[in-house]
Amino acid sequence: MIDVGNLHVYYGMIEAVKGISFSVQTGQIVSLIGSNGAGKSSTLNALINSVKRSGQINFLGYDTSRHKIHTLVRQGIALVPEGRRVFINLTVEENLKMGAFNNDENYEHLKETMYDLFPRLKQKRDQLAGTLSGGEAQMLAISRALMSEPKLLMLDEPSLGLAPKIVGEVFDIIERLKEEGITILLVEQNAFLALKTSDYTYVLENGHIVMEGVSKDMIGNDEIRKRYLGA
């Protein structure tokens, strides 16, 4: 679905991502793991051209380098950013409407699909997003992204700041989305959860990919267990 070659990301004179290459196959969950500052979030932001970058990114065979963010959303890429970033002064339903900016004709159907997926949001449809709990805001952020009917859903730290029970609910939804045919690129601080959920994993350190492999095999890797699983 997406092929990335020799990707560099820059913030002024600082190079945050240093020539990485990877791919995501259709129907997979692929995870990026690594310590804070490794370049994970910068990689996701580069895929939607929201940061200064160089290298090749091909989505479904098309070069994305000259496309604006809204064009990439229309083509089928959606990002759930770190920290949720819902519109706190809009209601839950108004947030969903914003997510469907390019999909008005399917809005009502998609909205009801989101309420089926996240029943808690239906109960709070007229509530301001700024009054939601962290878990509810994460559910809203995911729903808002899904309103564009993405082919590739990118999730940046979906478990951050959530209670363990809510994390379990969110990751149950992620697995359900995969079953429904959505390809997912996951950045996750909880390395064990990322490895358990995904099909394939890339490990980033200081802007470089230092290891990759089938996720279930990497759980048993001694180096991975020592560095990221606390074993």
Beta carbons of 78 and 70 less than 8 angstroms apart: no
Beta carbons of 15 and 207 less than 8 angstroms apart: yes
Place of tokens 């808002």: 144
Mean residue pLDDT of the chain comes to 91
Average pLDDT over residues 91-115: 88
Q: What is the pTM of this model?
A: 0.91
pLDDT at 227: 79
Write out the H or E segment, with its range, that includes residue 221: none
DSSP state of 230: -
pLDDT at 228: 76
Q: How would residue 161 be classed by pLDDT, with cut points 50, 70 and 90?
A: confident
Is residue 122 classed as helix, strand or coil in its secondary structure? helix
CA atoms of 209 and 27, how far apart (whole Å): 22
The pair of three-digit structure tokens given for residue 133, joined into one six-digit string? 């709990």
- Per-residue pLDDT for 231 more than 60? no
DSSP state of 220: T
Average pLDDT over residues 82-106: 87
Average pLDDT over residues 19-42: 94
Give me the residues paired with residue 212 across strands.
202
Q: How would residue 132 be classed by pLDDT, with cut points 50, 70 and 90?
A: very high
CA atoms of 202 and 224, how far apart (whole Å): 11
Q: Which residue ranges form the domains of the chain, and what is each CATH number?
A: 2-76+151-228 (3.40.50.300), 87-149 (no CATH)
- Per-residue pLDDT for 56 more than 70? yes
pLDDT at 223: 83
Is residue 101 classed as helix, strand or coil in its secondary structure? coil
* Spatial CA neighbour of 198 closest among 33, 40, 82, 4: 33
Residues in contact with 14: Cβ distance below 8 Å, sequence separation at least 6, in sequence order = none
Average pLDDT over residues 176-192: 93
Beta carbons of 139 and 121 less than 8 angstroms apart: yes
Average pLDDT over residues 195-201: 95
Average pLDDT over residues 16-38: 94
Q: How would residue 105 be classed by pLDDT, with cut points 50, 70 and 90?
A: confident
pLDDT at 230: 61
Q: Give burial (CB, 10 Å; 0-12/13-18/19+) of 155.
A: buried
Average pLDDT over residues 95-121: 88
DSSP result, 125-155: TTSBGGGS-HHHHHHHHHHHHHTT--SEEEE
Residues in contact with 188: Cβ distance below 8 Å, sequence separation at least 6, in sequence order = 31, 32, 33, 155, 157, 158, 159, 194, 197
CA atoms of 15 and 111, how far apart (whole Å): 40
